Amino acid sequence: MTSTTTPSATPAPGPLSGSAVGDADAELEGEQGEQSQVGIMYSERTWEVPLWVKAATFWVGVLSLGGLGVFEVGKRAEFRGLLIDSVVEPEDWGNAPAPEIALNALYKDGKDGGGAVKLSDLKGRWVLVNFWATWCAPCRDEMPSLEMLNRRFGDRVTMLAVSVDDDQAQVARFFGDTKPTFMVLWDKDKQSTRTYGTSKFPETYLISPDGRVAAKFTGPRDWFNQGMVQYFDDVVTDRRKPVRS
């Protein structure tokens, strides 16, 4: 018998799976998207900023920085003037002769003791007389800045810190092992304090080289801020008067 071979049937194409359809759509959209962006985001034209625009931008920046610099300098000068004229400006005491002070020193030149000290012996020098007490909190607060001021001007201004404490041991406990570089006098009977009319502490007097009260400072101060340092520097070099009228 002759056998006949029956050809196998070719399977009919089935529907695309969901993932295949998605990949085809994405590829089509990508091609369309690239075509739509040509000439918009990917223009081949080269853009150049004109030279006059660059130059104008540069000079605008330079002028702006220059204006800021002038403004800053002006503000600094104004601030310095305010420090000197408003914050540290003392009171006028009529340039009256300075009452005598004759007291024993508890500390002198960073050491204990020092013997008798008289204000009249210091004629020819600027003298800063500070009345204070250890029980006075503002007095204690300003002592560190007085120390710094003395270290700065000690060769041109003699500082006398006159204590009105009842017991000198209180002064010793206050300073402890760190002795001040200025002179500390003890006015046990408060005689000098009454002579100067001081009843509230601290009060400070600037005595001129000719022995007159050039200025009075009422209340505590930061004696070593920028304005105060400038004040003393100007006074001792005759660039300004102790009190401006």
pLDDT in tens, 104-150: 999 998 889 889 999 999 999 999 999 999 999 999 999 999 999 99
Nearest residue to 207 (alpha-carbon basis) of 236, 184, 231:
236
For 102-236, which CATH superfamily applies?
Answer: Glutaredoxin (3.40.30.10)
Distance from C-alpha of 217 to C-alpha of 214, rounded to nearest angstrom: 10
Distance from C-alpha of 178 to C-alpha of 166, rounded to nearest angstrom: 21
What tens digit of pLDDT does each residue of 24-59 get? 454 544 545 444 444 444 445 556 767 877 787 888
- pTM above the 0.75 mark? no
> Are residues 89 and 227 in contact, defined by beta-carbon separation less than 8 angstroms?
no
Range in 68-77, 175-184, 225-234 with the lowest mean pLDDT: 68-77
Burial of 212: CB neighbours in 10 Å, binned 0-12, 13-18, 19+? middle
What tens digit of pLDDT does each residue of 198-223 get? 988 999 999 999 999 999 999 999 99
Sorted by where each begins, the domain ranges of the chain are: 51-87, 102-236
- Cα(first)–Cα(last) distance of the chain, in Å? 146
- What are the distances in angstroms from CA 158 to CA 130, 151, 174? 11, 11, 22
Mean pLDDT calculated for residue range 92-105:
95
Residue 12, pLDDT above cutoff 90:
no
Residue 183, pLDDT above cutoff 70:
yes
Distance from C-alpha of 44 to C-alpha of 27, rounded to nearest angstrom: 25
